[in-house]
Structure 1
Amino acid sequence: MSRLLNTSFLPSSTCRTRSCSSSAPHFRGNKPRVVTVRAKIREIFMPALSSTMTEGKIVSWVKSEGDKLSKGESVVVVESDKADMDVETFYDGYLAAIMVEEGGVAPVGSAIALLAETEEEIADARAKASLGGGGTSPVSQAPPVVEDTVSSVPPLKAVSSASASASAVHPASEGGKRVVASPYAKKLAKELKVELAALVGSGPMGRIVAKDVEAAVAAAPPPPVQKEPSVELGSVVPFTTMQAAVSRNMAESLSVPTFRVGYTINTDALDALYKKIKSKGVTMTALLAKATALALAKHPVVNSSCRDGNSFVYNSSINIAVAVAIDGGLITPVLQNADKVDIYSLSRKWKELVDKARAKQLQPQEYNTGTFTLSNLGMFGVDRFDAILPPGTGAIMAVGASQPTVVATKDGRIGMKNQMQVNVTADHRVIYGADLAQFLQTLASIIEDPKDLTF
């Protein structure tokens, strides 16, 4: 849901004289009546889009100065510490003055624009805006050099053939509605990404043949090479809004006394289940989140949280936050009530959350309601690592890659099993070693016999 802009009145007044109409009854001693009209000029504040947001960056103004606004209409896009969000207005009126330009940063609660109730008040609002600015303006930079990049070979333009007659039309083309080409020409065009409809055939009656496709490819300019983004060594780069939020959270985590427990889990059965149901849209992330949620349901203290250092809360919901790396930072979309949602719905929800996270369109409740966090680097081949506890939660589990391992079986033989290492970091004020050990035993039993994951 889009957020609504906070506004407040800036009092100003104008005096308007209303004379009596000639048709109205006239009384002795009547004087022109002076009516004071209170102008409704409102400050538009930088909203708080999350509990950790202290400032916001103006990504873009949807409306321009002087535009008429209706209640509930999007006015500006703000970058919070987690996502880009459309912000709406509470009131009808006119966007009188923009006080923080695109790219500028303003503290939460500071004025970023002025809203006038009527067109007559726009000039007054602009005069007020000129007396004091909003946030910081973006750093001026040299105009960027824009380089066109092509992700795929574009359809090629028509290449005329000297031997082809422009008036030659194949009878099977139905007056040019169909493309008539040899089977090999069609196959070649598909492989080389050539648009047949743009070619003039040199075959009988204008039929497109293989040499027409080859000629089109030879005549087309090569696509520009996409350059890797360069980093200027030795340069100082300020944090983005998201990076600044991550920095604050990591520093806050240092104040929490934590400890770590590791566990090795056999994944043969989980791997087999994943292979069986992968075609139905199930993801490994959803399977791990589901298994973790079912284990947390049996060990609620691991799903608890301590915020004030004097008490802790047994959270009523099991919401699994999963760390996702995105351009310029890290975010943790949340699979809410993961213990109660079936694996197929959970997988669909996870795909939706990842798409929204990468587009920076997550809503606050989709990233700040986690009660337990998963961080998985197994897809990069990392076999084990430790994770830092996010503020306000009781535990986070780091998941490594599942790898074939030589193990001793119960009957004393040597065998091969797929195993993964998980390491849990927990708040020692609330969760103790025995709590984590029992939780990990339960998690291992669920993963090694995953029949309950597909209920």
Structure 2
Amino acid sequence: MASSSSLLPSRSASANGNPILSSSASISSSARILIRRSAAVPVRRHRSGAPPAVRAKIREIFMPALSSTMTEGKIVSWVKAEGDRLNKGESVVVVESDKADMDVETFYDGILAAIVVPEGQTAPVGAAIGLLAESEEEVAEARSRAQSQTQAPPHSSPSAPSPPPPSPAAAAVPAPQKVAVPDGPRKAVATPYAKKLAKQHKVDIGSIVGTGSYGRVTPSDVEAAAGIAPKAAAASPPYAPTVPAVGAPAAALASKSASAPSAPVPGATVVPFTTMQAAVSKNMLESLSVPTFRVGYPLVTDALDSLYEKVKPKGVTMTVLLAKAAAMALAQHPVVNSTCKDGKSFTYNNSINIAIAVAIDGGLITPVLQDADKLDIYLLSQRWKELVGKARSKQLQPNEYNSGTFTLSNLGMFGVDRFDAILPPGQGAIMAVGASKPTVVADADGFFSVKNKMLVNVTADHRIIYGADLAAFLQTFAKIVENPDGLTL
């Protein structure tokens, strides 16, 4: 598999003077796996006094950082099995980051001696997920080391707390039931490795009923369809609420019940966050620390609607027209395109990159139309179609979803007339677009007419953008929308 990433190994001195290996990597959809030396055997010093040669015996394969916001990753599937010999550049494991599934390749030749983190479990960035041995003689030592590392197994969900031990006096909650997927034509949503397995075993992936989140087809589903025996999985202990001891003081029970979670509802199903949902949750909590304010503005969209009908046959969407209009307005009001990250300074961004919120299977992501003010609406539409396709297959590159300087969220297509959007961390403003609806309006002379009007609400960082700044930006945006000829230039 081709990869655009590269690791540049360099040597630096540790505290005891021994050389260690450090690496840096660029991120791509096929990332090189980060492997560090975990054991070294010095060779006898030469008579000349030259420093001893160091021969690496066992290398740790550790969880790579596949995006700037990633703090932990989930093992979707291991492409290679224990004992397999690896060649430099081969795919070893598929990792689910907070935004995408990525095939990770090895940077060294060797033998996959031990898998520390199995499929379906998560590990923090930098943690060892496997061990790579250089020769057959070192495999046993590597497996012994892996066994000691797995005594404290990694958690299976980044956000779900570990359940307390079951109480003999409490009944266990029934196991979650699989959600039935309706029959009939549907678009199969599958992990990259599942698609690869389906092609390898000549299985029609569209005919497989997925058991993953929201009916997602997993590698085990493909193996089952191909008649391959599934791997045994360890069963998790059922959750059981703690029952207070008989005769406990009333005050102590009241205090404990105030902080304890509510009892589970009979028949309810607990669904842990996916990695993407956990990332969205983390970002939303960060957003609460930013002082924001909101400004709404009504727009007459008759002229924009007319333009849309002309360019729609050429593949141009209303979302792209709005993104282009926002980019042109931002070019005249650069403070709305600025960023404040530390609360002590702010940055004027040279590029106008419009991030657009897209709902995908199991989460939300914001593909970015980069340099939206410089491209015409036809190139933007082509680029947007590509980005949406990659987003829904979880194949976006990190720079394609984390480089936005201004965000657009359009729920008008669903008939929503108005809503407030939450400011993404690291941006100055986000625009919420409602639906365009026929509205009775009066002109300056008191004559009534019916025009299509749309309400937009902008949420902004009040540390760098003030009310007058946002009002001026919205006035410019309204002029562009109500006289949209400039959008086609």
| TM-score calculated relative to the size of structure 2 | 0.70
Identify the match of residue 154 of structure 2 among 117, 136, 139. Answer: 136
Q: Are 1:262 and 2:296 an aligned pair?
A: yes
User: Residue 3 of structure 1 corresponds to which residue in structure 2?
Assistant: 31
Report if the CA contact (8 A) 2:176-2:269 is conserved. no
What displacement does 1:124 show?
2.3
Picking from 430, 449, 452, the partner of 1:415 is 449
> Hey, what does 1:346 align to over in structure 2?
380
Instruction: Give the Å deviation of 1:120.
Output: 3.1
**Cα offset for 1:143?**
11
Show the counterpart of 2:84: 67
In the other structure, the counterpart of 1:373 is 407
- Whole-Å Cα distance in 2 between the matches of residues 71 and 410 of structure 1? 73
Matched ranges for 1:379-418 at <5 A: 379-418=413-452
Work out the CA distance in 1 between the residues paired with 2:56 and 2:147.
Answer: 18
SS in 2 for 1:262: strand
Alignment of 1:40-59 (within 5 A): 40-59=57-76
Is 2:154 aligned against 1:121? Answer: no
Larger Rg belongs to: 1
Tell me how far apart the structure 2 counterparts of residues 80 and 418 of structure 1 sit (CA, whole Å).
42
2:84 is aligned with what amino acid? D
Of 431, 434, 438, 2:468 maps to 434
Question: How many Å apart are 1:147 and its aligned residue?
Answer: 6.9
CA–CA separation in structure 2 for the residues paired with 1:65 and 1:128: 14
- Percent identical pairs in the alignment equals 71
Deviations, residues 201-252 of structure 1 (Å, cap 9, x unaligned): xxxxxxxxxxxxxxxxxxxxxx9x99xx899853333222111111111111
Q: CA deviation at 1:103?
A: 0.1
Counterpart for residue 97 of structure 2: 80
The alpha-carbon distance between structure 1 residues 396 and 86, as it changes in their structure 2 partners (threshold 3 A), is: same
- For residue 287 of structure 1, give the secondary structure of its aligned residue in structure 2: helix
Alpha-carbon distance, 1:414 to partner: 0.8
SS in 1 for 2:94: strand
> Could you tell me which residue of structure 2 aligns to residue 273 of structure 1?
307
Alignment of 1:192-211 (within 5 A): none
Change (3 A) 1:111 1:420: same
CA distance in 2, matches of 1:267, 1:37: 70
Residue 151 (str. 1) matches residue 169 (str. 2): no
How many residue pairs were aligned? 367
Distance of 2:454 and 2:334 partners within structure 1: 24
Cα shift at 1:70: 2.2
User: Judging changes above 3 Å, is the alpha-carbon distance between structure 1 residues 299 and 14 closer, same or farther for their aligned structure 2 residues?
Assistant: closer
The answer to whether residue 320 in structure 2 is matched with residue 286 in structure 1 is yes
- Tell me if the contact between 1:44 and 1:112 (Cα under 8 Å) persists in the aligned partners: yes
Please tell me whether the aligned partners of residues 177 and 269 of structure 2 are also in contact (alpha carbons under 8 angstroms). Answer: no
Distance in 2 between the 1:97 and 1:142 partners?
31
The answer as to whether partners of 1:14 and 1:39 remain within 8 angstroms in 2 is no
- Worse-superposed segment, 248-257 or 300-309: 248-257
Query: Which stretch of the first structure deviates more once superposed, 294-303 or 318-327?
Result: 318-327
SS at match of 2:399: helix
Give the equivalent residue in structure 2 for 1:21.
none
Q: 1:299 to 1:76 in 2, by over 3 A?
A: same
Aligned pair in 2 of structure 1 residues 146, 308: CA closer, same or farther (>3 Å)? closer
Aligned CA distance change for structure 1 residues 146 and 434 (closer, same or farther; 3 Å): closer
Judge conservation of contact 2:298–2:455 (CA < 8 Å) in 1: yes
> Unpaired segments of 5 or more residues in structure 2?
1-27, 45-51, 158-162, 164-173, 187-206, 216-264
CA contact (8 A) 2:320 2:377 kept: yes
Q: Is the 8 A contact 1:8 1:42 kept in 2?
A: yes
Classify 1:402/1:12 alpha carbon distance in 2 versus 1 (closer, same or farther; 3 Å).
Answer: same
Q: Is the 8 A contact 2:61 2:130 kept in 1?
A: yes
Partner of 2:240: none
Instruction: State the alpha-carbon separation in 2 of the partners of residues 302 and 36 from structure 1.
Output: 57
Residue 12 to residue 420, structure 1, CA distance change in 2 (3 Å): same
Partners of 1:415 and 1:123 lie apart in 2 by 83
Residues 144 and 238 (structure 1 numbering): CA distance in 2 closer, same or farther, change over 3 Å? Answer: closer
CA drift of 1:293 comes to 0.4
Letter in 2 for 1:73: E
Cα distance in 1, alignment partners of residues 82 and 89 from structure 2: 18
2: CA distance, partners of 1:143 / 1:37: 52
SS of aligned partner of 2:470: helix
Q: Does 1:452 align with 2:486?
A: yes
Q: Residue 285 of structure 2 aligns to which amino acid in structure 1?
A: A
In structure 1, the partner of 2:284 is: 250
3-state SS of paired residue (1:58) = strand
Match of 2:254 in 1: none
What corresponds to 1:236 in structure 2? 270
CA positional deviation for 1:9: 0.8
* Compared CA separation, residues 11 and 263, structure 1 to 2 (3 A): same
Residues in 1 aligned to 2:153 and 2:388: alpha-carbon distance in whole angstroms: 32
Which one-letter code corresponds to 1:330 in the other structure? L
State the shift of 1:15 in Å.
9.8
Corresponding residue of 1:356: 390
**Which stretch shows the higher mean deviation, 73-82 or 383-392?**
73-82
SS of 1:296's equivalent in the other structure is helix
Equivalent position amino acid for 1:403 in 2: K
